[in-house]
A and B are shown apart, each in its own frame.
Chain A
Amino acid sequence: MIHKPKKVFVDGPISPQFIADSIAKHQSKTTIGAHNIFLGQIRADEKAGGTVTGIEYTAYTDMAEQAFHDIREAAFARFKLTCMHIYHSLGLVPTGEISLFVFVSSPHRRATFEALEFIVEEIKAKVPIFGKELVGQAGDYTWKENK
Chain B
Amino acid sequence: MLVNVLYFGMLAEATGLPLESWEVPPAASVRKLREQILDKYPALRDRKFKIAVNQQMVDETLLLPPLAEVALLPPFAGG
Contacts and interface: CB of A to CB of B under 8 A. Distances in A.
B10 interface: yes
Interface stretch (A18-26, A44-52, A103-111, A117-125): A117-125
Contacts, number: 67
Chain A contact-residue range equals 20 to 34
B65 interface: no
Interface string A3-30: 0000000000000000000000000000
Contacts of B75: 143, 145-146
A107 B52 CA distance: 38
Interface in A115-147: 120, 123-132, 143-146
A128 B79 contact: no
Interface of B: 6, 8-10, 52, 55, 71, 73-79
